[in-house]
Amino acid sequence: MSVKNRTSLATRVIHSGHEPDPATGAVVPPLYTATTYVQDGIGKNRGYDYSRSGNPTRQRVEACLADLENAQAAFVFPSGLSAASTMLATLKPGAKIVAHEDLYGGVYRLLAQVGPAMSGCKVDLVDFCDIDALTTAAKGADLLWFETPSNPLLKIVDLTAVAKIAREVDAITVCDSTFASPCGQLPLDHGIDVVMHSATKFLGGHSDLLGGVLSVSENAKDGLADRIGYLQNALGAVMCPSDCALLLRSLRTLALRVERQTTSAAFLAEKLTANAADLGIAEVIYPGLATHPGHTIATRQMSNFGALISLRLMGGLDRVERVLTATHLFHFAVSLGSVESLIQHPASLTHAAVAEEHREKISIGNDLIRLSVGCEDTADLAADLEAAFSQR
Ligand code: PLP
């Protein structure tokens, strides 16, 4: 039973998909590991025949995610990139994709390198914050693909404006909402067709599972959700049942985790900004700062400003490396959204696959570092950063 539209997100993360097991009353649903199901006759079964085509544990986590996003349906995949490649497989060969210029390096590689080689799609990279440029580029497009906030520059894209442009040219919109989580924004409510997540990040939240999600709007083109479901099975891109159960369990604390993480991030961004000169910081990038170019749009479409902060450091690559290895609570590691805080260097890690000219064009330089704020005590995190940045 869905609790959609009757309760707040903080309640839904705990109850949706977590309804007690009808057979036993267990308040935690059983994990179905079976790969195959006994058939009662030809064409007669109890809803399942083979686990790739349907699995009760996967159905529960998909029902929960669809409910959180206000979607008609959600599909879970073995990784965020698997979700993205399944979405690309819905397109006709030679399709035109217009993508935001600031994207996670792996998605950039998929769109700019792998997609064109596999399906002949054409990909234009434009700044989705420049609405005039996007309007021009979108002519003849089949798909508009973007992240907001984007990785790693935390650019904010106007969801309603993109949805409007897409409707005018009859293109499908995909918003990668990984950096916001459903607790930060609900892109489908702003007219976007498909919301994507790397469930590896906030949704899983503990750096112990890989996963991806596509959730499809009630208002998306007829047949799109069915096509994604068909391809999930046909391509074999399914999340394994034990990860589905782990994800369903992790989602129960999503609202609590994100509230803590985003409150701490807002505090740290203000503090780092106030002490930037002393800490050798040239720029603090955080959508919650009034100086951020996307602050007004973020205030309108987000319920918090996220748990990611990007910084430009003074002092060259040597100093950047010293800072990256000097923090104790912020682990120097890729990924984000977990309970533990992380610090990383996009140019050499998450965005190493991005062509050097493109990195230069959009200013992902060696001076840029990215923080993912976890659930630790805020004052402890502030002290950790201050100690690392103060070392000269
Ligand atoms: N989208 C964004 C914004 C990401 O940051 C990532 C990974 O960092 C992905 C997609 C890819 O997800 P995964 O690593 O789960 O394949």
For residue 353, the tally of other CB atoms under 10 A from its CB is: 14
Contact indicator for 27, 15 with CB cutoff of 8 Å: no
What percentage of the chain has pLDDT greater than the value 90?
Answer: 98
**Range 295-331 burial, b when 16+ CB lie within 10 A, else e:** bebbeebbebbbbbbbbbbeeeeebbeebbebbebbb
Contact indicator for 138, 165 with CB cutoff of 8 Å: yes
Sketch the domain layout of the chain as residue ranges.
Answer: 9-251, 254-390
Measured CA to CA, the distance from residue 197 to residue 176 in angstroms comes to 6
- Give how far Cα 240 sits from Cα of 29, 83, 367, Å: 16, 14, 39
Which pLDDT score is estimated for 15?
97
- Mean pLDDT, residues 11-18: 97
Is 176 part of the annotated catalytic residue set?
Answer: yes
Of 67, 102, 142, 176, the catalytic one is 176
The domain 9-251: what is its CATH number? 3.40.640.10
Assigned fold of 254-390: Aspartate Aminotransferase, domain 1 (3.90.1150)
Which pLDDT score is estimated for 94?
96
Amino acid identity of 294? G
* Residue recorded with tokens 């459903």: 182
Q: How many CA atoms lie within 13 A of 126 on its CB side?
A: 20
Q: How far is the CA of 147 from the centre of ligand 1 (A)?
A: 11
Which residues have C-beta within 8 Å of that of residue 52, sequence separation ≥ 6? 233, 236, 238
Measured by CA distance, the residue closest to atom 14 of ligand 1 is 80
Look up the pTM and report it. 0.97
Average pLDDT, the chain: 97
For residue 53, the tally of other CB atoms under 10 A from its CB is: 13
Of 37, 104, 108, 286, the catalytic one is 104
CA-closest candidate to residue 157, choices 133, 122, 123, 183: 133
Contact indicator for 204, 226 with CB cutoff of 8 Å: no
H helices present in the chain, as ranges: 9-15, 56-69, 80-89, 105-109, 115-119, 131-137, 159-169, 224-234, 241-251, 254-274, 295-301, 316-324, 356-362, 378-390
Which pLDDT score is estimated for 391?
83
CA-closest candidate to residue 12, choices 58, 70, 80: 70
CA-closest candidate to residue 218, choices 196, 183, 193: 193
Q: How far is the CA of 104 from the centre of ligand 1 (A)?
A: 6
Q: Which has the higher per-residue pLDDT, 5 or 219?
A: 219
Which residues have C-beta within 8 Å of that of residue 326, sequence separation ≥ 6? 387, 388, 391
Ligand 1, pocket-test mutation among 151, 196, 342, most atoms within 8 A of CB = 151
Measured CA to CA, the distance from residue 108 to residue 173 in angstroms comes to 16
Ligand 1, pocket-test mutation among 76, 85, 102, 104, most atoms within 8 A of CB = 104
Which pLDDT score is estimated for 2?
46
Which residues have C-beta within 8 Å of that of residue 208, sequence separation ≥ 6? 246
- Mean pLDDT, residues 202-213: 98
Tell me the three state secondary structure of residue 189.
helix
Q: What is the pLDDT of residues 72-82, one digit of tens each?
A: 999 999 999 99
Measured by CA distance, the residue closest to atom 2 of ligand 1 is 104
Which pLDDT score is estimated for 349?
96
Q: How far is the CA of 287 from the centre of ligand 1 (A)?
A: 20
pLDDT at residue 3 tops 90: no
Ligand 1 contacts (CB < 6 A) are: 79-81, 104, 106-107, 147, 151, 176, 178, 198, 200, 210, 212
Tell me the three state secondary structure of residue 184.
coil
Region at 20 (left for phi over 0; alpha for psi -120 to 50; beta for the rest): beta
- Mean pLDDT, residues 133-149: 98
- Mean pLDDT, residues 142-162: 98
Ligand 1, pocket-test mutation among 109, 155, 200, most atoms within 8 A of CB = 200
Q: How far is the CA of 103 from the centre of ligand 1 (A)?
A: 9
User: What number does the ligand 1 atom closest to the CA of 212 have?
Assistant: 15
Q: What is the pLDDT of residues 339-361, one digit of tens each?
A: 999 999 999 999 999 999 999 99
- Mean pLDDT, residues 286-303: 98
- Give how far Cα 317 sits from Cα of 151, 313, 322, 358, 385, Å: 21, 9, 9, 20, 18
Q: How far is the CA of 335 from the centre of ligand 1 (A)?
A: 8
Is 52 part of the annotated catalytic residue set?
Answer: yes
Which pLDDT score is estimated for 5?
57
pLDDT at residue 274 tops 50: yes
Q: Count Cβ atoms within 10 A of the Cβ of residue 154 and give its class: 0-12 exposed, 13-18 middle, 19 or more buried.
A: buried
**Range 156-167 burial, b when 16+ CB lie within 10 A, else e:** bbbbebbbebbe
Measured CA to CA, the distance from residue 347 to residue 352 in angstroms comes to 6
pLDDT at residue 321 tops 60: yes
Which pLDDT score is estimated for 6?
73
